[in-house]
Amino acid sequence: MVEWLAAFWQTYNTLVYLLFTHAILALSIYITLNTGLLSVGNAAFAGIGAYTSALLTMKLDLPFPVCLAAGSAAAGLVGLAIGLPVLRLSGVYLALATLAFGEVIRVVFLNLEVTGGAMGLNGIPPKTELWHLVLACAALIYFFERLRRSRLGRTLDAIREDEVAARVMGIDVVYHKNLVFVLGAMLAGLAGGFNAHFTFFISPREYGFGPAVDILAFAVLGGTGSYWGPILGSTILTLLPELLRFLADFRGMVTGLVLFLVIVYLPNGLLEVPDVVRRMLRRGAKP
Amino acid sequence: MLAQQLANGIALGSVYALFALGFTLVFGVLEVINLSQGAIAMFGAFFALAAVTALGIGIYPAMALAVAGAAILGVLIDRLALAPLRARKAPHLAPMIATIGLTIFLTSLAQGLFGAQVSRFPIGLVPIRIFEVGPFQVTQLQLVIVAIAAALMVALLLLLGRTRLGTAVRAVAESPRAAALLGIDVERIYLLTAAVTGALGGAAGVLIGLSFNAISPFMGEPILLKGIAVVILGGMGDPKGAMVGGVLLGLVEVLSVAYLSSDLRDAIAFGLLFLILVVRPQGLFGRRQARKA
Amino acid sequence: MSAAPLLDIRRLTVRFGGLTAVADLDLDVREGEIVGLIGPNGAGKTTAFNVISGLETATAGEVRFRGRRISGLQPHRITALGIGRTFQNIRLFGALSVLDNVLIGEHVRTSGGLLDVLVRVRREREEERVAAARARELLDFVGLGHRGPERAGSLPFGEQRRLELARALATGPALLLLDEPAAGANPTERATLVTYIRRIRERGVTILLIEHDMKVVMGICERVAVLNFGRRIAFGPPEAVAADRAVVEAYLGAEAS
């Protein structure tokens, strides 16, 4: 049994780590989506967190918590700087602006000497341990659970539901949009920091358009009715490629199809499935 | 030197313009960001390659086949993904994500069908000849690219501006409800738009495949990102803006490679894009208006 | 009656491009009054409300509240100063619960932020308790005490109006702007509404309301201002206004024909 576990861990530890960092990324986009902001810059923020923390570890050999915090803070600072101009946009324009921002950041990683250019950073010491990730996720779930039933949580709900009515209720909409944008950036930065410290290697392509879309897909697949939705989505989309390994190059077809079918037929994500089933049963019960 | 770079920039820019034209047309008429445009272009390039290698035909008939195939693909995407969302009056986020899903699907499909490696057109498909036009030295390929892109763009502008059908398209773009009241079959216009934008995407894909002589399942993403940049540069939904924006981006890229550094090419393009969204979200040439979508 | 007015609008003008929505409007509302704002559709009433609550900016002129200039301030600041409002086409937070709608209204009277979510658990709980009690009292006041956990969007129309009233009161306003509170209501609902408006005034809240229903206006307003094409054509006690020739021609006449 112990041997089996050890063998399993040997093969799948990276996958398990990924489940957790992807869950953090999913929560990082949930907090903005839940406020009605479609920001797709979180892959770039994850990149900022990853590079910052990895460089601090490699060059200065600072303690791991300090590196993580610095990576998260760096992402948050960049978020703060671009938040004010960008958050004046809404809907698809905000999405496109954050997408463009993500590309700029990727190209910056690609061209800076300190980030190792296209080759990225190699030989990052593995510092992330499972209990770090479990602890971080538990803390985040506690945070989101408290947020849900707090004044701040209601305020964010109000902004998502009706911005004009929210302003008239005395809510400073600009401040709160910036707040969640920065929080989202910091969470993504944290996930990036964790990620860099168990993959040994990071490069710009891990933080480009594709990963940005993946993070969005986590939230869409699970649904944003509750913070559990994005976590569910990230778990499924992280496991799916593993489970579909036998499909080889065609694997992406299933991922793409799932995403497409969910958005067209289950607009509120997988979280909605119990409701849909209940509705169908009720309709079936009535002759 | 400068003249030469200008010629190269215009050739590259005209392809960007062609691609962006399809992208902006969907936004103008359907008010939808169709992120599968890049995958359509990629498939267009593969269609042409398959026609050239399997059927042994020349590049021009192959291109016609590819454009037709891409148009069908465009219609399929509209029917399968966009039409149900329209019927449901889904928020703007939904079609964006649905087309992302389709992009992932199509990219993977192409990877499975054609392999992940870079494929190339046979050498000499377009004769390698160099012409002197005034101060410019241009290859026959560049001339072909600019000519085809320009012809398609002019054709589209004439279609939109001078025909009854074009008037109907513009009416639908303005207000689908009002257009329907005027007796315009709105769904048919959507279908036509999907076919035309698919065709434009496919044509752009073939031309990009030709100009870099590299076709791969992953070529769609950079094209798409450039297309988004151009459309924002020129103002969302504005066909003329897309054309000017495309040429502008082509010039900026070529000149920044020539005079600054090749690494900075994309940084400049997207930095410009980001800046424009922040300071002039209506695009370089657009009128100021509330941008709520 | 000689005290300075609670709300004082001076020579307010609002233009959208070539269109003048409000022209040179003068209006004052004294503490404890119920003032009506009437006029044909498109007369600029809602625009005036939007300027008072900060959603639109004045082209010229100014709005003073308790002697302080508020035109140009952000809406959330104006709400914090003590002006609440409702909307003509009800703008509730439809997907949220009835209770949450009122709690959101209490935003300016509470202070919990990020820190409270993270660490100040005790302080936050106490504040939530007080806020919820106050919200329940307001829901009882508008007769929705039993509806707390339901989705606001699922309430019948009349109850949505009352919920919006409770939500506006939750901001703790000294002045309440009501934009056509009786619109779309049946005669019974209208009668209930009138009693609610009176009782709100008894709570010490001054009221400025836009209304089309002349019975409502004549029944409860101490003074009525009539707007036509953005201009004030009459201002005074309801009887005097109703007898005014210009008003009869511009407004009542138009309705009678």
pLDDT at C253: 56
Of C54, C93, C117, the CB nearest to A150: C117
Contact flag C93-A162 (C-beta cutoff 8 Å) = yes
Residues 40-59 of A with CB under 8 A from C: none
Whether the CB of A169 is below 8 Å from some CB of chain C: the reply is: yes
Contact flag C103-A158 (C-beta cutoff 8 Å) = no
User: For B103-140, what is each residue's pLDDT tens digit?
Assistant: 989 998 998 888 888 888 887 777 777 877 777 777 88
Neighbouring residues of A250: CB distance < 8 A, sequence distance ≥ 6: B108, B109, B111, B112
Contact flag A97-B278 (C-beta cutoff 8 Å) = yes
Which residues is C123 bridged to in the sheet? Answer: none
Contact flag A151-C103 (C-beta cutoff 8 Å) = yes
User: For B155-192, what is each residue's pLDDT tens digit?
Assistant: 888 888 888 888 888 888 888 888 888 888 888 888 88
Q: What is the mean pLDDT of residues C98-118?
A: 87
pLDDT at C256: 45
Contact flag B94-A267 (C-beta cutoff 8 Å) = yes
Reply yes or no on whether the pLDDT at A280 is more than 80. no
Residues 127-166 of B with CB under 8 A from A: none
CA distance A27 to chain C (A): 16
**For the purposes of burial, counting CB atoms within 10 Å of the CB of C136, is it exposed (0-12), middle (13-18) or buried (19 or more)?**
middle
> Which residues in chain A touch residue B43, judged by CB atoms under 8 angstroms apart?
none
Q: Percentage of chain C surpassing pLDDT 90?
A: 28
CA distance A276 to chain B (A): 16
Q: What is the mean pLDDT of residues C191-205?
A: 88
pLDDT at A28: 95
Reply yes or no on whether the pLDDT at A187 is more than 90. yes
Reply yes or no on whether the pLDDT at C98 is more than 70. yes
Give partners of B (≥3 CB pairs < 8 A): A
Q: Percentage of chain A surpassing pLDDT 90?
A: 39
User: For B38-58, what is each residue's pLDDT tens digit?
Assistant: 999 999 999 999 988 888 888
Indicate the pTM of the whole model: 0.87
Contact flag B229-A100 (C-beta cutoff 8 Å) = yes
Of B108, B221, B267, the CB nearest to A250: B108
Residue C254 has φ and ψ, to the nearest 5°, of -65, -35
CA distance A35 to A154: 10
> Which residues in chain C touch residue A180, judged by CB atoms under 8 angstroms apart?
none
Tokens of C164: 């919006």
Please report which confidence band the pLDDT of residue A287 belongs to, taking 50, 70 and 90 as the band edges: very low
Contact flag A166-C96 (C-beta cutoff 8 Å) = no
Residues, chain C: 257
Contact flag B101-A256 (C-beta cutoff 8 Å) = yes
| Residue contacts between A and B (CB atoms, under 8 Å) | 135
Tokens of A221: 């697949």
Residues B255 and B9: beta-carbon distance below 8 Å: yes
**For the purposes of burial, counting CB atoms within 10 Å of the CB of A242, is it exposed (0-12), middle (13-18) or buried (19 or more)?**
exposed
ipTM of this complex: 0.88
Contact flag B293-A90 (C-beta cutoff 8 Å) = yes
Of C105, C114, C128, the CB nearest to A169: C105
Per residue, the 3-state secondary structure of chain C, as one string, reads: CCCCCCEEEEEEEEEECCEEEEEEEEEEECCCCEEEEECCCCCCHHHHHHHHCCCCCCCEEEEEECCEECCCCCHHHHHHHCEEECCCCCCCCCCCEHHHHHHHHHHHHCCCCHHHHHCCHHHHHHHHHHHHHHHHHHHHHCCCHHHCCCEHHHCCHHHHHHHHHHHHHHCCCCEEEEECCCCCCCHHHHHHHHHHHHHHHHCCCEEEEECCCHHHHHHHCCEEEEEECCEEEEEECHHHHHHCHHHHHHHHHHHHC
User: For B249-285, what is each residue's pLDDT tens digit?
Assistant: 888 888 888 777 766 777 777 777 777 767 766 666 6
> Which residues in chain A touch residue B271, judged by CB atoms under 8 angstroms apart?
104
Of A92, A100, A253, the CB nearest to B108: A253
Question: Quick one: closest CA in B to A253, which residue?
Answer: B105
Reply yes or no on whether the pLDDT at C159 is more than 60. yes
Secondary structure element (H or E) that encloses residue A202, with its range: strand A201-202
Which of C107, C129, C134, C151 to mutate to probe the A interface, most A CBs <10 Å?
A: C107
Residues 78-97 of C with CB under 8 A from A: 79-80, 84-85, 87, 91-96
Contact flag C55-A153 (C-beta cutoff 8 Å) = no
